[in-house]
Each structure stands twice: as C-alpha cells, then as structure tokens.
Homo-oligomer: A and B are copies of this chain.
Amino acid sequence: MTGRRHYRPRYLQVAEDLRDEILRGDLAAGDPLPGEPVLAERYHLSRTSVRDAIKLLRDWGLVRAEPGRGTRVRTQRQRVRRTPERYQWEKDRVRLPEHERRTAGATEKDTGLKVDDLEFHAEYSTVEAGADLAERFQVPVGTRLLHRVYWTSSVKEGAALTLARSWLVYDVAAANPDLLDAANEPWPGGTQHQLHTLGIEVDHVIDEITARPPQPDEAHILDIGPGVSVLVLRKTSVDTEGRVAEVAETVLPGDRTELVYTTRLERWSG
C-alpha cells in the first residue's frame, strides 16, 4: 500500500524483504539468517523491530530457531497450483482402464509429484446431515451421510499438503458396497469414478472459496505456523439430473497454494 492513510510498520517491510530473498532462493534452506545487529544496521531499525520481523518469519514458517545454531532458513514447502481443469481431467480418466487410472490422482497433477512421493490417508464414518448439508443435498435434516476424511502427505516433508472432507448421501453410495469401505482407498480414478459405479455422471462443479485461520487440528496435520491462513474450498458436484452428488471441503495452506481460474470473455466482432 502507498499513501499517507496506510500504516505499514517497518518491521513488516523488513520481514517481507527477507521473505522475498528466501522465496527467490537468495537465502537457501539451512542458511543462517543474518544476525540481529547486521539486520538492524542494514535496515536502520531498532533491535526490537528486527526481532519483530524475525518472529514474523518464524510465524510464516520460513525460518526456524535452531538450538546453538541461530535462526536458519527452513526447507521451503511443496507448492500446490490447483486449477479447475482437474475436474475435466478426472472425468476423462473415469473411462480409462483401471491400471491407467491407478497411475495418478489429482494431487499428483497439482503438485507435479509422483504416486511414490505421496502418502494417502482416508477415514470413513457416518454422520447425520445438519441444516447446511441437508439443504445442499436437498434431503431432510438427519439423513445419513457417508463422511470421508482424506489427507495426502508429501513423504519428504512428513506433513499433509491438503486435507479434505467429503460427504455422499449414504443410501445412494450403499448401492455399491465397495464405496463404504475406506480400505478401498485410494480409489483408482477418484470420486468421479466412484460416482460412475453408481451410474452418476458429474455435469458441473461449483467451487466456493473462503479463508480463515487454521483450526488446531488442521495446523497440526498441515504443519503450518500460527502466521499462516488456510483457504477453504467447498466443492459441490452436480450430476446431469441437477442433483448434488458430492459435497467436499478442502483445506489448503494459504502460503503455498494458489487456486487459478481463467475466464474467457466473448470477443467483440472485429
């Protein structure tokens, strides 16, 4: 921000400056951060403000205080660039043979990682629809839902890249008993293939995006610091009959995830 009305503390500018150096790679993983006196002189800043800047870098998860070794740059986390092309990509894979469907899922597509770089976790349970999900699925409050929790971890980082919850109407899913057992995860071809086994074809997907601080359990699984926000992406898959087939909510770390949507406009006639 520029302009006299905007209050921008100096320590924040310094923290952003150092952040840019880290993200550009000028300061590499394992490198020591310059000491407080050096930074104070470089930026003409008090030691207190330098400490505030370093605290912010720690909160952002970019540096870490290492006993006896000072403050060092942390290994930068895997970045995720997620575009809605993943939905058509998943749909196109539904009718591939199983051995091809098995080779990659949407997370591999978003991260550029291989199946072996990722560890997949799934937990299933049943829940009763509250007011919100009941309205979404157009079913009575209390209707039984299959509730699925997924997280995909980078083997190298030992922390989750994304955390997702998904709901299906239980009685709909139960038409294929294989869909009720988490042991069948990761399901080759993912949710769109699962729905296909029920005779359901997805027509469109609605992404609704908000942001908030992580909840403690999310911060733990995603291994993110207190200065990191999460993106919450609620995805509603609507079938060719106009019925909601699946609702999912994915929590993504805001500091390393980019959601990218391209809107093409109609051309003016020449």
Write the residues of chain A forming the contact surface with B, with a CB cutoff of 8 angstroms: 1-3, 5-9, 12, 24, 84, 87-88, 91, 95, 123, 125, 127, 131, 147, 149, 165, 201-213, 215-218, 220-221, 227-231, 240, 254-255, 257-268
Instruction: Specify which chain B residues have a CB less than 8 angstroms from the CB of A8 in the assembled complex.
Output: 215-217
* Integer count of this chain's copies in the complex: 2
Instruction: Specify which chain B residues have a CB less than 8 angstroms from the CB of A165 in the assembled complex.
Output: 1
A259 to B207, CA, bound (A): 8
A257 to B212, CA, bound (A): 11
Instruction: Specify which chain B residues have a CB less than 8 angstroms from the CB of A7 in the assembled complex.
Output: 216-217, 220
Shortest distance between the CB of A82 and any CB in chain B (Å):
9
Assess whether A3 is in contact with B123, with CB atoms less than 8 Å apart: yes
Instruction: Specify which chain B residues have a CB less than 8 angstroms from the CB of A201 in the assembled complex.
Output: 267-268
Assess whether B229 is in contact with A212, with CB atoms less than 8 Å apart: yes
Contact of A254 among B127, B212, B262 (CB under 8 A): B212
Interface centre among A5, A216, A261, by most chain B C-beta atoms within 10 angstroms, is A261
Shortest distance between the CB of A136 and any CB in chain B (Å):
14
Assess whether B204 is in contact with A231, with CB atoms less than 8 Å apart: no
Instruction: Specify which chain B residues have a CB less than 8 angstroms from the CB of A213 in the assembled complex.
Output: 213, 227-229
- Closest residue of chain B to A91 (Cβ to Cβ) is B265
Q: What are 23 sample pairs from A and B whose C-beta atoms fall under 8 A apart?
A: A3-B125, A3-B149, A6-B220, A8-B216, A9-B216, A12-B216, A84-B263, A87-B263, A88-B265, A95-B268, A201-B268, A204-B262, A204-B263, A205-B265, A206-B260, A208-B258, A208-B259, A209-B258, A209-B259, A210-B257, A211-B231, A213-B228, A240-B267
